[in-house]
Amino acid sequence: MSDLQILMVSILLFQNGMELDLMVLIFLILIFSCPFISSLAFPYLELIYSAGLLCFFGIYLIYKKFSFSKLQSMLYPIILFILALAISLVFSQNKLNSLWELYKYISMILLFLVAASLSEKDKSLTIQTIILSGLVVSLLAIYQYFFGFGHVLSYLSNNGFSFPFALDYLQSKRVFAPFVTPGILGGYLAMIIPLALINKDKVWLVLPVFFALFLTMSLGAFLSLFCALLIFFGAREKLKKKHFFSLIGLFILIVIIFTWRSMAQREHVHPVFSILMRLSYWKETLEIIKAHPLAGVGLGNFNLNMSRYAHNSYLQIWAEMGLLGLFSFVWLVYVVIKSRFIDLKQSLYNNQAVCLLAATTVFLIHNFLDFTFFLPEVAFIWWVILGLIVA
């Protein structure tokens, strides 16, 4: 971890006037760093991060008194999900791939359990750390838009790099840093936006995040944010004017982005191209599911002719882990969200819970169209948020 990351998280602790707990500090540093370690661009760096995360889990379970009292209703779906992982590993044709993927899933579950066990003050610190990390990511993306593309294009030209797809991709000026595609960045930022709205006195924090999201020109991310807000605003007995106009504004932006991308001469930027490619991926994935409906093909063994991902995480979970894996995951998410959503419906819960639920829902909707569930740099943050709903 960089000195800057440690400094920023330490400042966060100092500003809140809280006693510095070493385990909490390590946890916050790991969470803050997570989005900057791309599993696709820097696999070796991710390996180092993963080793650090594993060490943290080991020390945490020894150092902290872990309680399952908040998780009674979730134990069965968690156990069933772990059972599905084990079955998938047994039937896997490539055990090495499956073991590496299994580690990611175990890390996700442990992050969920750690987040669910946090005290109220540590929960607040974790949320602020996620927001702070999201702000840094947003500023990095904005910098890329104004300055970064020229540097990268110049570097590629000077080094004789002539892959047309990559060059066109950069020339479209859809930001993606520190990730590898605008869709991944968009999905991450859309998830952060509800969290940035938790503190009503600091709603300005959402501005750089939203601007960076706009620069991704990601239709999937905007649609996910729109649908999530529509669900939560609609759950209230009366729709406020500011909520109504927020939805109208988002819809107008979606139309603008769709129109801009439809006018693009580069085929891969065109939304119709994205839709057709996804339909092709889904069709191919359904064929895999048809051949392996119960146990799946095994963790980490999913592969299409033109993609490593189905661009629909639920179909890919089914294809890799079988029906039991998909069912247990949906069951776990349902149990976590159900009670909190009922509280929201009855207006008994605070703004923090509403925003955590909204962030969770954005991620879930986005994964109907993308694959951030399988990328630790985004998925780990989501599992922490899911745990914070329980905490």
Q: State pLDDT tens for residues 259-284.
A: 988 887 776 778 888 899 999 999 99
Average pLDDT for the chain: 87
Q: Has residue 72 got a pLDDT over 60?
A: yes
Q: What is residue 346's predicted lDDT score, i.e. its pLDDT? A: 57
Task: Tell me: pLDDT of 62 over 80.
Answer: no
- pLDDT grade for 200, boundaries at 50, 70 and 90: confident
CA angle, residues 187, 264, 39, in degrees to nearest 5 = 30
pLDDT for residue 71 is more than 90: no
Q: pLDDT tens digit string along 24-37?
A: 899 999 999 999 99
Q: What is the pLDDT of residue 231?
A: 85
Q: What is the pLDDT of residue 165?
A: 60
Closest C-alpha to 70, from 391, 321, 292, 319: 391
Q: Residue 192: which domain range? A: 3-390
Tell me what pLDDT residue 358 has.
94
- The two tokens of residue 236 are 């209230």
For the segment 130-136, the average pLDDT, to the nearest whole number, is 98
**How far is 192 from 134, CA to CA, in rounded Å?**
6
**Which residue would you say has higher pLDDT here, 391 or 376?**
376
The model's confidence at residue 76, banded by pLDDT at 50, 70 and 90, is very high
- Per-residue burial over 227-264, b if 16 or more Cβ lie within 10 Å, else e, is bbbebbbeeeeeeeeebeeebeebeebeeebbeebeeb
Domain count for the chain, please give it.
1
| 103 vs 164, higher pLDDT | 103
- For 333-380, the pLDDT digits (tens) are 999 998 777 666 555 457 888 899 999 999 999 999 999 999 999 999
Whole-angstrom distance, CA of residue 145 vs CA of residue 152: 11
Residue 17: what pLDDT? 46
- Full-model pTM: 0.91
What percent of the chain has a predicted confidence (pLDDT) above 90? Answer: 56
Give pLDDT, residue 18. Answer: 47
Q: How many whole angstroms separate alpha carbon 364 and alpha carbon 8?
A: 29
Q: What's the CA dihedral at 86, 388, 196, 148 to 10 degrees? A: -30
Q: Which of 60-74, 81-95, 126-140 is modeled with the greatest confidence?
A: 126-140
| Peptide bond before residue 178 is cis, with ω within 30 degrees of 0 | yes
> What tens digit of pLDDT does each residue of 294-344 get?
999 999 999 998 899 999 999 999 999 999 999 999 999 999 998 777 666
Please provide the DSSP assignment of 6-75 as one string.
Answer: HHHHHHHHHHTT----HHHHHHHHHHHHGGGS-TTT-HHHHHHHHHHHHHHHHHHHHHS----GGGGGGH
Tally Cβ neighbours within 10 Å of residue 90.
11
As a whole number of angstroms, the distance between CA 378 and CA 363 comes to 9
